[in-house]
Amino acid sequence: MLLHIPEVLTRDQVAGFRRKLEQADWTDGRETVGHLGAQVKRNEQLPEFSPLRRELGEAILTALAKHPLFFSAALPLKYLPPRFNRYAGGGTYGFHVDGAVMDLGQGEQLRSDVSCTLFLSDPEEYDGGELLVSDTYGEHEVKLPAGDLILYPSTSLHQVNPVTRGARLASFFWIQSMVRDDGRRRLLFELDSSIQALRRSGADQAAVLQLTGVYHNLLRQWAET
């Protein structure tokens, strides 16, 4: 499921992030990937142990915790703390698939089910830099307003097109979902969205209650915690 999550960060929050990132010390993005990824990756990232990365990452996770659309779509169990990257001067990241298992430290692992990119630059600030996600329905170009997030299955082949003008700033991170299978997550998301729409429309309460029970019983059956 490829889903646009609008307004994760406010415009004021984005501006605050940008002021801090403009003063940051960036490192070669190839430091965080393996041999194959390093062949196609040309960008900059905040260092892994940067206090700024931790500060801004915690702010993003706090904002996401208040966003019901995000929770409904991702059903998060664990997060890899958000990272931050910068593409400029032809920077790009060729087609790749994200690693299946990631190290959270202290012997804990995360299975990457859901990939997220939170845009911190507005589309008019740079040329190129589209996130290109390939799935069974074709290739989808994504270039969102600053503060908006795109969510997609970590199994997807994807790339970042070369940035030929300006700079593209973003945060990216991965989620281990309570529901491993993307098809099941999609069904639960569509069911939850329909229940919320029925509630807003004043539909029969008994029928809405019954559907809500179906949702939770499916989640109970499929969830891994």
Q: What is the mean pLDDT of residues 40-59?
A: 95
Parallel/antiparallel/unpaired status of strands 131-135 and 138-142: antiparallel
What residue numbers does the annotated binding site for 2-oxoglutarate cover? 168
Residues 59 and 132 in one domain: yes
Q: Which of 53, 54, 108 is nearest to 85 (CA)?
A: 53
Q: Which residues contact 94 (CB under 8 A, 6 or more apart)?
A: 39, 40, 41, 159
Residues 30 and 108 in one domain: yes
Q: Could you give the 3-state DSSP secondary structure of residue 107?
A: coil
Q: What is the mean pLDDT of residues 203-217?
A: 97
Residues 53 and 137 in one domain: yes
Residues 36 and 103 in one domain: yes
Q: Could you give the 3-state DSSP secondary structure of residue 98?
A: coil
First to last CA, the chain: 21
Provide the number of structural domains found in the chain: 2
What residue numbers does the annotated binding site cover? 96, 98, 158, 168
- Examine the pLDDT at 170 and tell me if it is beyond 80: yes
User: 147: phi > 0 → left, psi -120 to 50 → alpha, else beta; which?
Assistant: left
* ∠ Cα 44 46 50 (to 5°): 160
Q: What is the pLDDT of residue 29?
A: 81
Residues 192 and 94 in one domain: no
Owning domain of residue 117: 3-177
Q: What is the mean pLDDT of residues 140-167?
A: 97
Task: For residue range 3-24, list pLDDT tens digits in order.
Answer: 999 999 999 999 999 999 999 9
Rg, the chain, Cα only: 18
Residues 143 and 49 in one domain: yes
Residues 202 and 154 in one domain: no
- Examine the pLDDT at 74 and tell me if it is beyond 70: yes
Residues 106 and 120 in one domain: yes
Q: How would you label 19-38 residue by residue, b for 16+ Cβ within 10 Å and e otherwise? A: eebeebebeebbeebeeebe
More confident residue, 141 or 41: 141
Residues 89 and 186 in one domain: no
Residues 192 and 168 in one domain: no
Label residue 36 by pLDDT band (50, 70, 90).
Answer: low
Q: What is the CATH number of the domain that holds 218?
A: 4.10.860.20
Q: What is the pLDDT of residue 137?
A: 85
Q: What is the CATH number of the domain that holds 31?
A: 2.60.120.620
Label residue 37 by pLDDT band (50, 70, 90).
Answer: low
**Largest Cα–Cα separation, the chain:** 58
What residue numbers does the annotated binding site for Fe cation cover? 96, 98, 158
Please state, rounded to an integer, the average pLDDT across all residues of the chain.
95
